[in-house]
Amino acid sequence: MLQTSWPRIIFKSPSGALVTHKKKLIFERIEWRAPMDGWVKEKFDVAMSDTPGASGVGVFLQDSAGCILLKGAKKLLIGTNNIAECQAAL
């Protein structure tokens, strides 16, 4: 079953009072748009066990016709989520 909400989170406010917060997941449809003729679109995503921690990246390139030109995945060095996203973009 698909999770539709996050568990309640309890934290201290600046005044010191305990506050309960519950986030809701928002789902939206995202459609792929082809790049202009002669251009290539790169898509990548990073997954992490923790930050800092072990991470990995998946990437693929598509042309304007939607053909996949390159795809792959790689384990990255241990680092923060920001470092992993920068490494993935390169």
Task: Please list the pLDDT of the chain residue by residue as tens digits (90 residues).
Answer: 555 555 666 667 777 777 666 666 677 887 878 899 999 998 888 888 776 778 888 888 999 998 999 998 888 777 777 777 777 777
Provide the whole-model pTM: 0.52
Question: Which residue segments constitute the domains of the chain, with CATH numbers given?
Answer: 32-89 (3.30.420.10)
DSSP 8-state code for residue 14: T
